[in-house]
Amino acid sequence: MQQVRAATAVLALVSCSSSQTDTIVAALEDESTSVHVYPTLERLLHSLWDVMPDVVVMNDSVDSDASLQVRLLRRRQPSVYVAFIGVSDEARSIALLQWGADDAITSNSPTLIARLQAAARRARTVNAGSRIAVGDIVFDREARRVWCAGREVALTPHEYNVVDCMFWHAPKPVGVDTLADFVWGDQESTNRRTLVQVYMSYVRKKLAKSVSVAIRFSRGSGYAFSPRIEKEPLELAKREG
């Protein structure tokens, strides 16, 4: 399967009403933009190990410390785009921008969706410069991040290096010896082939939710990304490699 530049973006909605959420999800979520919903900022902050959004959209409340909210987000993710919606008036918008928000959109503003679409578009443009994809598996070598079917996947260092090696060689298959050298270098092991098989099984499980890509093994060639026709049985993965 061929690699392509991945123009994708992840949005997080925080403390938004059900009507706000429905409107934004319907307008923005598609194959290149995923939207995740959180009831509170605390829930989002606790989830940043699993999902690192490019854009955070928060419903404004005059009772909350918006300045602190922006600082908490930026401490965890300095480049995140922060937008407040449901802002009471222009004076409050100015204050939010002065506290570090990237946008502050007043209630019932007709520009709400257009401005959020613009933020997502900018994020996709920036990400396209550093992310590549095979099907719905997206890889960011610079940030050491991997997504599968729109969700970020947590990988151990060795698992990440297995995926890194696969992307270096895609669409060509990667031999077992090449994978072992890439991941473990000159490190001695009694059975490097077994190591590759074990870690490849871990990677396959973590990427199993892909709807378009499977990792398949061909004797004499090695491992390669292949189009997924149907869910690959676990028994098949165990027999391969």
Identify whether the C-beta of residue 212 lies closer than 8 Å to the C-beta of residue 228: yes
In a shared domain, residues 160 and 97 = no
- Is the entire prediction scored with pTM above 0.85? no
The residue out of 102, 129, 156 marking a domain boundary is 129
Q: How far apart are CA 229 and CA 241, in angstroms?
A: 20
In a shared domain, residues 46 and 159 = no
Domain CATH number, residue 235: 1.10.10.10
**Is 50 exceeded by the pLDDT of residue 236?**
no
Q: pLDDT (tens digit, 9 = 90+) per residue, 170-227?
A: 989 999 999 999 999 877 666 888 999 999 999 999 999 998 899 999 998 999 999 9
Q: What total number of domains does the chain contain? A: 2
Helices H / strands E in the chain, number of each: 9, 12
Identify whether the C-beta of residue 203 lies closer than 8 Å to the C-beta of residue 174: no
In-domain check, residue 1: no
**Backbone dihedral angles phi then psi of residue 61, each to the nearest 5 degrees:** -140, 130
Number of Cβ within 10 Å of residue 51's Cβ equals: 16
Q: pLDDT (tens digit, 9 = 90+) per residue, 66-93?
A: 999 999 999 988 889 999 999 999 999 9
Alpha helix stretches (DSSP H) within the chain:
18-28, 41-46, 66-76, 90-98, 112-128, 157-169, 176-184, 192-206, 234-239
Range of the domain at 223: 134-239
In-domain check, residue 83: yes
In-domain check, residue 2: no
Of 24, 8, 14, nearest to 101 by C-alpha is 14
The residue out of 129, 163, 195 marking a domain boundary is 129
Domain CATH number, residue 30: 3.40.50.2300
